[in-house]
Amino acid sequence: MKKEFAVIGLGRFGGSICRTLAQEGMEVLAIDIDEERVNEFSNIVSKAVVADTTDEKVLKDLGIRNFDHVIVAIGDNIQASILTTLILKELGVQKITVKAQNDYHEKVLAKIGADHIVHPERDMGRRIANNMISTNVLDYLELSDEHSIVELIASKKMDGKSLLELDVRAKYGCTVVAIKRQTHIIVSPMAREVIREGDILIVIGADKDINRFEKNIV
């Protein structure tokens, strides 16, 4: 059965989520208080409605409880975002993802039981900054405040050496979980796997260990 999504708030973030879900063939109910924004999405998603989601009755009438996943993408109006999340929670919505505007907003959302809180501006800023600092880092995914998965380009220094010789885990405390080589990908490489310059190493570990590894060998 197809998953049903509801997206509340059709700004840049919520709008982008709606478009992507619709492109992937998902059932999407798009909701905004602003009629113009709703009209913009009426041809893109399954159903688009004008509603103020801080009104419990409105959400009940929309049958919001029956959706598999509700995304609250109300931007600047933090009060409306919190109240909407609280009502969704009280109505027993299974899965709620909320966009946080700042750390205080995030704290309150966590307290009232949002299942997943996203902070797109902050996270994208960190991501771009990390990519700018190092020429070897292609991409990075934050797992926690101190742990990440990073894509690093293998340097000349590593060329021809096996993972065993490089001794990544013992020396640096991080693990190479995959190697991308041209069109193919080696998942869970063996210790005897020989690295070539230009390979993309996917490394998981504590940020400080990954940094050490990157500075010393990559």
Kindly tell me which residue out of 7, 32, 202, 211 binds ligand ADP, with binding defined by CB under 6 A: 32
Kindly tell me which residue out of 24, 25, 43, 76 binds ligand ADP, with binding defined by CB under 6 A: 76
Neighbours of 32 (CB within 10 A): 27
In Å, how far are 57, 67, 183 from 54, measured between CA atoms?
9, 17, 49
Per-residue binder mask for ligand ADP (CB under 6 A), 77-116, x = binder:
x--x------------------------------------
The one segment of 71-79, 127-135, 141-149, 195-203 that binds ligand ADP by CB under 6 A:
71-79
β-strand 147-153 against 137-142: which pairing, if any?
Answer: antiparallel
Which candidate, 173, 172, 166, places its Cα nearest to that of 199? 166
- Closest approach, Cβ 76 to ligand ADP, in A, equals 5
Contact between residue 153 and residue 126 where contact means Cβ atoms under 8 Å apart: no
Residue found by looking up tokens 């041209």 in the block: 182
- Closest approach, Cβ 63 to ligand ADP, in A, equals 16
| List of residues contacting ligand ADP (CB under 6 A) | 8-14, 31-34, 37, 52-54, 73-77, 80
